[in-house]
Amino acid sequence: MTHASQAIPLNDEAIFDAMPMEEGGQFANHATPLIRNCWYVCARRDEVGRTPISRRLLDTDVVMYRTQSGQPVAMHNRCPHRAFPLVKGRVEGDRLVCGYHGMEFEPDGLCAHLPAVSHVPANACVQTYPIADRGPLTWIWMGDPNLADEALIPELPWLASSEWGTVTGDFHIKADYVSMHENLIDQTHFPFLHPGTVGTPEYARASMEASTEGNQVAITRRLDNAPPPGIYGKPADIMHKNVDRTSEARFASPAVHTAHAKIFDTQPDAGKPSVYGYYITHCFTPESNHSIHYWWFNSRDYRIDDTDTDDFLREASTQAYYEDVEALEWIMDVVLSDKEAQQFELSFAPDKPGLMARRIMHRLAMAERG
C-alpha cells in the first residue's frame, strides 16, 4: 500500500521563517524502499565477539564475529552451498566454518577450504559487508560497498567520553524507521504521550526554529522560567524551581537522531551547577520496512558516577521510549490492517521538520534506485 503525497496546509508559518516550505514534495513512509547507502548500527560493540551472532538488517540476515586481532566481520548468514545459516557454524582462527559440510570462509568472504574437494572454485564465496567499531557501537554498511567511507559514520563523542555519564537500553519495535524519525523530531506530542517524564504543559508554548544542513534537519526550542520536566528536574533535584531550557533535536542520518538539552538554573543552590546538559542518542536500524532495532542512550554531564541517578534515568527513559514504541506499533498495526488506501495525511506547521526529514529520506531512497 502506498500513500499519495499531498500539498501540506500550513497555518502558522511564522515559526518557520528560517525554512520556507516548498509546496508538494514526496515524503518517505513505511512503504518506501529502505535506504541502504548509510552506516547503521548493527550491534553493541561488546555483542560482537568470537562466537558468531546473527541479526536481520535491512531485510538481510547477517552473521557477525571478530577475528583474532579483534576486527569485526559481517557476512550474509547463508552458506552459498546449501544455505546453512553460518551463525550455526564456528569461528576457527579468522575463518568462519560452515557447520554443514565445513566450507571455511575468510573475513573477505572467500572460501579458503572445502573439505569434500581438492580444488576450491573461484566463485565459492559469501557476501560480506563493510563493518567498523566506533565507541560503544558497531556499524555496518549494507549498500554499495564502494561508497562505504568510514568518515561518514556519525560522530557521537559523548558516548565514549569520561565527562559524560550514560545509561542505555534497547527495543525491538514493530514499526517503520520513517515514523520513528518523525516521532523523534516531533516534540508536540510530549505533553500528551509523555506527561509523566519529558512532557510539561508549558512546553507547548516553547519557541521553535527549524533548519536544514545538507541531509540533516534540526529544530531548536527555548522555554524560559518554567518548571523542568521530571526526567531532567528530578535527578538534578531542581523540581521546586523554575528554570530556563534549550533543546535541539536533529535528524542526523537515516540511522541516527540526536537531541541536546540544557537546563539553566539561574539561582543555583550553594554547590550546585547552574547548567545541566544532556545528550540523547537514538540509533535505529530497519530490520524490515515494518520493524526496527533500536538502541537509545541518555548522557548527562553531572553526577556522572552516581548509580541512583543512573537508575532513575534508565527507568524514566525506558518508560518514555516505551510510550513511543507502543504508539508507533499501534499506528503501524492499523495502517497495515486498513483495507482501503489512506485518503489524506493532515499536517500542520509544527509537523514541518518531520516532513523535511521524510522528504530527505524519500530523495535518498529514490536516488539509490537510479
| 324 interface partner picked from Fe ion, ligand FES, none, CB below 5 to 8 A per type | Fe ion
Segment near ligand FES (CB under 6 A), from 95-103, 169-177, 299-307, 357-365? Answer: 95-103
Interaction between residue 171 and ligand FES (CB under 6 A): no
Measured distance CA(158)–CA(136) in Å, rounded: 11
Interaction between residue 264 and ligand FES (CB under 6 A): no
Query: What would the grid cell of residue 208 be?
Result: 521553535
Dihedral Cα 251, 275, 310, 315, nearest 10 deg: -60
What φ, ψ does residue 273 adopt, rounded to 5°? -65, 155
- 10, 26, 54, 100: which one contacts ligand FES (CB under 6 A)? 100
- x/- contact string, 298-337, with Fe ion (CB under 5 A)? --------------------------x-------------
Interaction between residue 94 and Fe ion (CB under 5 A): no
**CB-CB contact of 81 with 103 (8 Å):** yes
Interaction between residue 62 and ligand FES (CB under 6 A): no
| 82 interface partner picked from Fe ion, ligand FES, none, CB below 5 to 8 A per type | ligand FES
Interaction between residue 92 and ligand FES (CB under 6 A): no
**CB-CB contact of 39 with 147 (8 Å):** no
CA-based nearest residue to 71, from 114, 113, 106: 106
| 234 interface partner picked from Fe ion, ligand FES, none, CB below 5 to 8 A per type | none
| 98 interface partner picked from ligand FES, Fe ion, none, CB below 5 to 8 A per type | ligand FES
Segment near ligand FES (CB under 6 A), from 44-52, 96-104, 207-215, 260-268? Answer: 96-104
Nearer to ligand FES (CB atom), residue 122 or residue 346:
122
Nearer to Fe ion (CB atom), residue 104 or residue 324:
324
Nearer to ligand FES (CB atom), residue 82 or residue 172:
82
Nearer to Fe ion (CB atom), residue 94 or residue 324:
324
- 81, 90, 174, 262: which one contacts ligand FES (CB under 6 A)? 81
Which residue intervals of 214-306 are DSSP H helices?
230-236
Measured distance CA(256)–CA(75) in Å, rounded: 23
Interaction between residue 103 and ligand FES (CB under 6 A): yes
> Could you tell me which residues are beta bridge partners of residue 246?
222, 262
**Least distance in Å: CB of 74 to ligand FES?**
18
Q: Which residues contact 243 (CB under 8 A, 6 or more apart)?
A: 225, 226, 227, 228, 233, 263, 264, 265, 266
- Strand ranges in the chain using DSSP code E only, listed in sequence order: 39-44, 53-57, 60-66, 72-76, 90-92, 95-97, 104-105, 111-113, 128-129, 131-134, 137-141, 165-173, 207-213, 216-226, 243-253, 256-264, 275-288, 291-300
Nearer to ligand FES (CB atom), residue 96 or residue 361:
96
Query: Taking the CB of residue 145, how many other CB atoms lie within 10 A of it?
Result: 12
Measured distance CA(134)–CA(44) in Å, rounded: 10
- 19, 34, 98, 137: which one contacts ligand FES (CB under 6 A)? 98
Across the beta sheet with 90-92, the strand order is 90-92, 95-97, 104-105, 111-113
Q: Which residues contact 308 (CB under 8 A, 6 or more apart)?
A: none
- 84, 171, 264, 312: which one contacts ligand FES (CB under 6 A)? 84
Query: By beta-carbon distance, which residue lies closest to Fe ion?
Result: 324
Query: What is the contact surface with Fe ion in residues (CB under 5 A)?
Result: 324
Residues that bind ligand FES (CB under 6 A): 79, 81-82, 84, 98, 100-103
